A and B are shown apart, each in its own frame.
Chain A
Amino acid sequence: MNSERQLLIELRDCAFGYGGSAVVEGVHFGLRRGDFIAVLGPNGGGKTTLLRGLLGVLKPVRGQVRRADGLSFGYVPQREGLDPVWPVSAMEVTLMGAYRRARWRMGLPLPRAERERAVACLARVGADGLRRRLFAELSGGQKQRVLMARALMTQPDVLVLDEPASGFDLPAQQELLELLHQMNKADGLTIVMVSHHFAGLQPLVSAVSWVHKRRVESGSPDRMLTPSKIQEVFSP
């Protein structure tokens, strides 16, 4: 079944890092259309570095990266990285997802269709009531939804989320996972999610990649989320 779906990204024996030295190495990774992959591991293990490599923002120190032609990403960054000093409304943040399409408009206002699309994206993630609110004044969960709406605005092939549930309590984490699961199953969206939480993931994701001790190990959720595997990853 898996082999019938289009291969979007393939990493072969890749190493990613900074200044020529690898943070993660020996990475073999494949992402197919319709996958929902959780990239898990302890803090500081190199999950974000791997994510930047997948996005193409970071070039591999070694190895080979293949991406499908014209592949587009909808990126949801860690919300704590966005400075609350910016007085941007949720609508303005969502519309940033249209900036690539609007790059030749040379300062002209965005077309009405883009604004309607932004409203639809906000509605898709249950944030349509937040349009006029300042992004900085939203709760963590509301910010996360707005950032997801912005990522959807890019009309991506792959939705990439960096620690979306960080700082959430368990019910909020579960609610977010349910929403992502829905987007994966109902909308057919391919998802890669970096997280250091793994509770409740097993029935929702199609694969799990552990990033620990500079290596990446991937497999089915049944195989990768066993108590012994989790103990192995988190043992010193």
Chain B
Amino acid sequence: MIQTLREILAPEFLLHNSVVASLLVGFVCPLVGMFFVLRRAVLLGVALPQVSSAGVALAFWLHALGIHVLGHDETERGTALVGSTAFTAVALAALALSERRGSGPVEGRTGAVYAVAAALAVLFTARNPSGESHVTSLLKGEIVAVADADLRLLAVVYAAVILLVAVFRRQLVLVSFDRNMAETLMRRPWGWDLMLYGVFGLTISIGVMIVGPLTLFGFLVLPVLAVRPWASGLFSLAIASSLLGGVTALAGFALAYRADLPVGPTDVAVAFAVYVASAGARQVARS
């Protein structure tokens, strides 16, 4: 395993970009996923990557039909980014608006969004004349083929996400932990909700393109769930979840490379194994 790690971490490694992309997703997603878990909005963490995927599928379909949103010289990845971002933004705006109006249980609305997004992703893919398998592989996240431009984009967007979460962490925590207190201390607490949704959108729309919805959701939630029972405060939860996400991403990549398995599902399986081990150890520690 050490030899495999040395091999995949070497700069001349053929899939070097994929390793770096996996690490970025592994380190950054738990920092955002922490808010999904602690706000009990994990269902939103499942639904949004699916919405983003539906946007990617629609964009590819339009691209194949010769309809170019960004002009004729747009790339397939550019199309995907537009579709992913637009769909995520619209879904978040709709969910935020319905939450403010308090129309029905939030789980019901989020579940409905997930169901329709999953259905649309399949329908757009089925209608795509470019071939179902090609689009499906893109939706799964071509983690083994990350171009330099994609890696740069991912790095820039995720650096912005880290910066936003670090700089405004107090406001984001207060508005999430104690809404009533936030209302007495802040002029517009919903503005911070909006920023948090923006952070969700940025993280998901770019992440889905690189690693796909399944892997992204795994990294948003599993490292946080594994660390939470051991955390002595929010800072320790954030740092430990992020480190665990990064280590899991690296271990998953190494395992997938060695056993010739798809990277994304291997990452999720490794993260889940860590979560189960953590939950078991916590039980033992408490007994």
Contact = CB atoms under 8 A, between A and B. Distances in A.
A112 interface: no
Contact of B232 (A56, A57, A82, A132): A132
Given A55-B184, A96-B178, A107-B166, 19 more contacts: A77-B180, A82-B178, A83-B38, A86-B38, A86-B177, A87-B228, A87-B232, A87-B233, A87-B234, A88-B177, A88-B233, A89-B233, A92-B234, A96-B181, A103-B171, A106-B167, A107-B167, A132-B232, A160-B184
B232 A75 contact: no
B-side binding surface: helix, strand, loop or mixed?
helix
Interface string A85-98: 11111011000100
Contacts of B37: 85
A78 to B, nearest CB: 8
Interface of B: 37-38, 40, 166-171, 173-174, 177-178, 180-181, 183-186, 228, 231-234, 236-237
Contacts of A87: 228, 231-234, 236-237
A87 B226 CA distance: 13
Given A99-B174, A106-B167, A154-B185, A134 B232 contact: yes
Contact of A77 (B181, B186, B228): B181
A110 to B, nearest CB: 9
Nearest to A150: B181
Q: Tell me the interface secondary structure of chain A in the complex.
A: loop
Chain A to chain B: the 6 pairs with minimum beta-carbon distance, closest first: A107-B167, A87-B231, A75-B184, A77-B180, A57-B183, A89-B233
Contacts, number: 69
Contact of B234 (A56, A83, A88): A88
Contacts of B173: 96
A119 B83 CA distance: 50
Contacts of B232: 87, 89, 132, 134
B1 to A, nearest CB: 32
Nearest to A81: B180
Contacts of B228: 85, 87
A16 interface: no
A92 B233 contact: yes
B284 to A, nearest CB: 18
Contacts of B171: 99, 103
A95 to B, nearest CB: 9
Interface in A96-121: 96, 99-100, 102-103, 106-107
A58 B180 CA distance: 11
Contacts of B168: 107
